[in-house]
Chain A
Amino acid sequence: MTQHTKEREGRREATPMPPPPDPRPAGSGHRAEKSWAVLFASPYLAHLVLLTAWPFLALTYLSFTDYDTLSSPNWIGLDNYTRLLRDEDFWNSLLNTGLFALIYVPLQTVLALVLAVGLNQRLRFMPLLRGAYFVPVVSSWVVVAYVADAVFNPRTGSANTVLGWFGIDPQTWLDSPALVIPTLALVAVWKGVGYMMVLFLAGLQSIPGELYEAAEMDGAGPVRRFWHITVPAVSGTTFLVLVLSTISVLQAFEQVYVMTGGEPGGASEVTVLYMYRQGFEYFQMGYAAAVAWVLFGITLVLTLFQLRLQRKWVHYA
């Protein structure tokens, strides 16, 4: 809340205005207003109840059942959750997802900001360049997988050619247990950075030019201006980008399904792919529901943590 707003609110508190007289008869008008309010809110409420609250409750119930989708759920108490604790494949999928997030989220955030700053210029071909960075965002994962194969194919890909220029041995990229997640994260950044860049561009364009002019007159160079004006001024956008990136990486599915299917040997099996397999391929929807619940819990905790942390570093204008 800005100082200006606080002052205005302070004045309102100091000289409270009496409420205007209601010309309508008491009671019936108020009820009518309420009915209208409920009517207008009903699509949202229906959506909330049918597509959020009810599925959520059903998911919770099913996570305590053995449910193969073809016969009635059978209550098994905490069995699914205790099985999760012992399930090495589940923990492996969480580990893979965590590693994916650790590479993807910071890399995409930094790269998107750098690109946005670079492209926030009034030059002739800038719109074209911005468009070029946005093309992967609107491309399907199948197309992206073909592009990635052209780069990371161990025999014919350009990545190994480049490594060869520096005398580095060719790598097997998506077929290497050690490199598959970093490679997937790089491809995900390539696909998603354009979208985050647009968010940063919007944030950058709202920074008053006078701030840069004043800093320049005070002798601040481009790096200091970036650190002391740009970075704090877009911290709200940075926070948004961080939250969106974290949530999207925890939900990563399509990319992994299309590009590796969890291979090699489960080294790229992320949690949502693992959940999908259990529910939709192995008829274990109750178990998949338990996985979904745990993943939801992790997402919630991470988001709350980010929200709490933002008070320390996000500056809202």
Chain B
Amino acid sequence: MLATAVALTATSACGGGGDDAAGGDVLTLGYYAEAGGPADGTMRALVEEFTKANPGIKVKIETADYDEFYKRLRTQLAGGKAPDVWLSDGVLVQEFAGRNSLRDLTPYAAGLNLADYYGIDLIKKGDPQGRLFAFPQGAQSTALFYNKAIFAKAGVEPPTADWTYDDLLAAAKKLTRDTNGDGKTDIYGFRAHSPSFVESWWPMVKAFGGDVLADDGKIAIDSPQSRAAFTWMNRAMHEERAAPDPVTTEALGKSQILFPSGIVAMQFGIYARIQTAAQGKIDTGVVPLPKGPDGRRGDLANVNSWVINRAASEAKAESAWKWIKFFAGEGPQTKWMSIGEAIPINRKVAQSAAFLRPSTPPTDRKPFIDALDTADDLGLNPVWSEYTAAITKQVTGALSRRIGIDEALRTAQADAQAAIDRFRPAG
């Protein structure tokens, strides 16, 4: 299987670009979305609007669910058949840019006032030379979600922006309950562990003063600050039992359904989790992440972005840029905002009452904007998937108490740094 795949990709790797593949003057646009879901429907409507406004541009859509989209994209890129423009998960931009697959958008964006958009600096930070290899499409920052009904029932005061990690743990303990007396916990105060680490250990490490990838591009996870963060998590899960441990989290039905199912009263959640909380009919409130010992919150953001295939012709790149500009405009951003999937990257839309104070929960969404203003990126570089997997493996072992925190951090540091050191930039 691998032999055939490798041979086919190798045969075509050095050839062509997206140019011929796209066929004539058709702009190929790729994005990931659940087929027929609100994101897919809205994107198609916006494409229609765009082509009406630009009659000279025809658009061919290529879409699939997240996993399938990227699996296909990697093969398409190898074969010179990738879309001319595609929606990239923010954390993957540097993986493609570092391998010479993306156009530098800096000259295209020169005509825009970049201060009108969120996420520009976070994208630039990923490139050692500060180039703009992607343009924001929608942003995700993290906040503390809480279930108002569970708090009210337990008679616990809702969280505030002044909460510390001590406050979080104290409240989580009060909220943890065995409601039916069968000896098993039915409601946990907090979800501490999630495989989605932006909603779990990463902001905690930063809040406790540590870091994962330092500004010099070196791994920095093995530090006393990280140790303090993981010790806090283990205390919450294994000693106070106010949060499910990793095994229980999986057994309860995966980390992302715990809050919408009312199994946990609080979680760290990215903006998109509002959708799943709404599906569970949870009356959700959000506040900023709690403060660590030095008052840091460890805010992080991921900016999903449009990227242009380096192999696309000049004409197609121009059309692709028109699409990107169109999507960043007030009208399309307002429509995209309505599905609740991402924070608008257009500051005007993000500052509107429609976004900040909607009628559906959470009715105050300013914490996401505040977090976005001060957030750091997720340690972006060309081997992001590999080095974060190396850290996650060790961290999960430590949080499951299969290995000690010290050993986990030491190994994570070495393995993740080895992945970075192995990388040789393209060209």
Chain A residues within 8 Å of B, Cβ to Cβ: 51, 54-59, 62, 66-74, 153-156, 172, 174-177, 251, 263-266, 275-277, 279-283, 285, 288-289, 292
Contacts and interface: CB of A to CB of B under 8 A. Distances in A.
Nearest to B390: A89
Contacts of B9: 69, 285
7 contacts: A56-B3, A70-B99, A74-B424, A154-B247, A156-B251, A276-B2, A292-B3
Nearest to B79: A69
Interface string B231-248: 000000000000000111
Interface stretch (B25-33, B333-341, B364-372, B394-402): B394-402
A288 B402 contact: no
Contacts, number: 113
Contacts of A58: 3, 6-7, 10-11
A273 B308 CA distance: 31
Contacts of B353: none
A288 B74 contact: no
B153 interface: no
B161 interface: no
Nearest to A266: B393
A264 to B, nearest CB: 6
Give the residue among A69, A153, A264 with the most B Cβ atoms within 10 A.
Answer: A69
Given A71-B14, A174-B250, A264-B246, 13 more contacts: A51-B4, A66-B424, A69-B9, A70-B101, A70-B426, A154-B247, A155-B184, A175-B250, A264-B402, A265-B402, A266-B393, A282-B385, A289-B3
Contacts of B250: 174-175
A283 B95 contact: yes
B396 A70 contact: no
Most buried by A among B9, B75, B396: B9
Interface residues of B, number: 44
Nearest to A66: B424
A292 B5 CA distance: 12
Nearest to B415: A89
Contacts of B345: none
Given A56-B3, A282-B383, A282-B385, A263 B13 contact: no
- Most B Cβ at <10 Å: residue of A67, A72, A175: A175
Interface in B314-353: none
B181 interface: no
Give 9 nearest A-B pairs by CB, closest first.
A58-B7, A55-B7, A55-B3, A69-B78, A59-B3, A154-B251, A175-B247, A70-B99, A282-B386
Contacts of A265: 393-394, 396-397, 400, 402
A187 to B, nearest CB: 16
Interface string B398-427: 001010000000000000000100001011
A71 B247 contact: no
Contacts of B3: 55-56, 58-59, 289, 292
A153 B2 contact: no
B253 to A, nearest CB: 9
